[in-house]
Structure 1
Amino acid sequence: MVTQSLVALLVALVVMGVTAAISKRVDRVAVVDVAWGSVFVAVALVLALVWPDAHSWLLAVLVTLWGGRLAWHIAKRSKGHGEDPRYEEMLGGPGWHAGAGKVLLRVFLTQAVVAWVISFPLHVAAAYDVRWWPVVWVGVAIWAVGIFFEVVGDAQLAAYRAKPRDSRPKVLDTGLWGWTRHPNYFGDACVWWGLWTAGALSLGWVQGLATIFAPIAMTYFIRNVTGAKLLEKTMSERPGWDEYAARVPLFVPRPPRR
């Protein structure tokens, strides 16, 4: 598995290196968000090409559907916008003007390494044969639940934003947004628990337990660090947010409450 992991690390570094060059040219660090999903797509495809079998190609298809949609969605959403305030706060200045070394280390190298760590279930899937095919399909089902929450949640949010401000509720609390305050982030977590199940756990208990840190890390980051809780720092300033937050859970969905 060491060879597969080294190849995956090289792919992640190359993708983020190219992204850094593009980012420097357009003077916008936030383009790294578009590359985030693309890193996993590149890793999965290279592993499937170098160590081809039905299992690796199935995982590559799942990762490509998720990562490709995510990259397209973020690119479309961020078109025409300036630098993301999150990166200005992280870097202590406006993007690359904060210093190339700081940007490369804190943003691009960090995200390359994090993506490499989270993709470990793909590394082991390329190195070992499937032991339990039924577990693969359980993982695919979990992945599908995640994709449903992401796609439907994003569509509902887009429909809400398309309405005139004076004719829409102050806070979106219908559909999946009445079940969880962050259906897209919950969907992301489900996708990677599904990929871990289909990719690593299906190989055996040893491979599954040895890589369970990957979906745990993804869930932790998108819930507590770069995703839900970070977004709520600004969302909580909206009128009606406190009442909404009292009714609807932060992350794990539950049926709507009045």
Structure 2
Amino acid sequence: MGSPVNVLDGDYLAITLLVTAGYQLTGFAIAWTFQFDKITDFTGGSNFFILALLTLLLGQEFHGRNILASVFVMVWAARLAGFLLFRVLKTGSDTRFDDIRSHFFKFFGFWIGQILWVWVVSLPVTILNSPKVSAGVAPGFGTASDILGIIIWAIGWAVETAADLQKFRYKSTNPPKEKPIDVGLWAWSRHPPYFGEILCWWGIWTLSIAPALGGTHNSGARSALLGSLVSPLFTMILLLFGSGVPTAEKPVAQRFYKMAYPEDDTLTGHDHGERKPTNAAWANYQAYRGQTSILIPLPPTIYRALPLWVKRTVLFDLPMYEWTPRS
């Protein structure tokens, strides 16, 4: 088995990129042809599973660290893909794509972005499983970085899983529409699944870098492992500034405002004075927003007591997430 693996050595990243591009473009062709969203998120999540399993099998080095890092990615991907597929099948469509589904280049651009997301975020396990890294001398499994990575990933996965389950159960009870979700982790964070996802990828990266910290003498492998830091950083940037928190905050605020002021069809900047809302929706949302951390879970009593500069810097509660009718 040694020689086929060696042939793949120099092209390992290219192979995973080609597999990702082929899988995502096939998904795009199906989604565009039939104009539906049933496979969009599933294709993204399941792609991570494919890359983790593929790179582990191609590397032919089944050490504890390689196996565990790959399994962590596959468990995370299977849960995410399965949950998102179940959700879209239950709801029938994904409203995020309503404005781009019928526009070829806009919809195609989303899938190109998904290729980039999957390939970049998978880099820690892809590089760890690469023969040039996995076949080198690495410290035995159980180093401090291994243990820390396992703990971080486990907390992140538990938070993400629990938050998705809590929200699903909450919505299935037909709760009052004018009241934001404030059960379980959602009482401590406005976006706990995003926090859990960020932790998962910090954990996978931390678990994967032990050979770079004290094992391999291959400088290229060491640099590649440390450079895979781009994975958790890209995840944070995407969720904090891209298709995560920003795209979730504004529609929620607008929905509660519209419930309070159904006659206002502008939502763009007219001064409505001190007019009282027609129901409690807007007041409920503002109260929830004022006491609930944007990302990192904290008890409301602690969050309220923190100075604004701490919320802005340490907790990432940035002004860009704020929305008012005049914004």
- Shorter-chain TM-score tier: 0.7 to 0.9
Q: Does 1:247 find its partner at 2:318? A: no
Structure 1 match to 2:236 = 219
Structure 1 match to 2:308 = none
Q: Does 1:171 find its partner at 2:180? A: yes
In the alignment, residue 247 of structure 2 is paired with which amino acid? L
In the alignment, residue 187 of structure 2 is paired with which amino acid? G
Structure with greater helix percent: 1
Verify the 8 A CA contact 1:35 1:71 in the aligned structure 2. yes
Distance 1:226 1:170 in 2: 24
Distance 2:178 2:92 in 1: 27
Q: Residue deviations 1:89-131, cap 9 Å, x none?
A: 4x3xxx1x312x5533x02222112211111111220131443
TM-score by length of 1: 0.87
In the alignment, residue 183 of structure 1 is paired with which amino acid? P
Distance 1:116 1:217 in 2: 11
Aligned-pair distance for 1:81? 4.0
In the alignment, residue 15 of structure 1 is paired with which amino acid? Y
Structure 2 match to 1:112 = 115
Distance 1:154 1:29 in 2: 20
Gapped runs of 5+ residues in structure 2?
Answer: 1-8, 214-221, 257-280, 305-327
Please, which of 88, 107, 119 is the counterpart of residue 103 of structure 1? 107
Q: Say if 1:22 and 1:119 are closer, same or farther in 2 by CA, change over 3 A.
A: same
In the alignment, residue 216 of structure 1 is paired with which amino acid? L
Verify the 8 A CA contact 2:191 2:294 in the aligned structure 1. yes
In the alignment, residue 37 of structure 1 is paired with which amino acid? G
In the alignment, residue 77 of structure 1 is paired with which amino acid? R
Structure 1 match to 2:211 = 203
Verify the 8 A CA contact 2:41 2:81 in the aligned structure 1. yes
Q: Say if 1:137 and 1:26 are closer, same or farther in 2 by CA, change over 3 A.
A: farther
Q: Does 1:11 find its partner at 2:16? A: no
Verify the 8 A CA contact 1:28 1:82 in the aligned structure 2. no
Higher RCO, 1 vs 2 (CA within 8 Å, ≥6 residues apart): 1
Q: Say if 1:80 and 1:163 are closer, same or farther in 2 by CA, change over 3 A.
A: closer
Q: Match of 1:79, SS? A: helix
Distance 1:150 1:37 in 2: 14
Matched residues, percent identical? 26
Q: Does 1:51 find its partner at 2:59? A: yes
Verify the 8 A CA contact 1:131 1:204 in the aligned structure 2. no
Q: Residue deviations 1:58-79, cap 9 Å, x none?
A: 2221111110110110111111
Identify the range of structure 1 (153-162 vs 203-212) with the bigger mean alpha-carbon deviation. Answer: 203-212
TM-score by length of 2: 0.70
Aligned-pair distance for 1:25? 3.8
Structure 2 match to 1:235 = 252
Structure 1 match to 2:85 = 75
What RMSD over aligned residues (CA atoms) do the two structures have, in Å? 2.2
Identify the range of structure 1 (60-69 vs 122-131) with the bigger mean alpha-carbon deviation. Answer: 122-131
Verify the 8 A CA contact 2:292 2:300 in the aligned structure 1. yes
Verify the 8 A CA contact 2:37 2:88 in the aligned structure 1. no
Please, which of 49, 53, 73 is the counterpart of residue 41 of structure 1? 49
Please, which of 128, 149, 152 is the counterpart of residue 139 of structure 1? 149
Question: Bigger radius of gyration, 1 or 2?
Answer: 2
Distance 1:245 1:132 in 2: 47
Distance 1:255 1:132 in 2: 39
Verify the 8 A CA contact 1:51 1:126 in the aligned structure 2. yes
Distance 1:178 1:83 in 2: 27
Please, which of 168, 188, 194 is the counterpart of residue 197 of structure 2? 188
Q: Residue deviations 1:179-209, cap 9 Å, x none?
A: 211111111111111111112x222244453
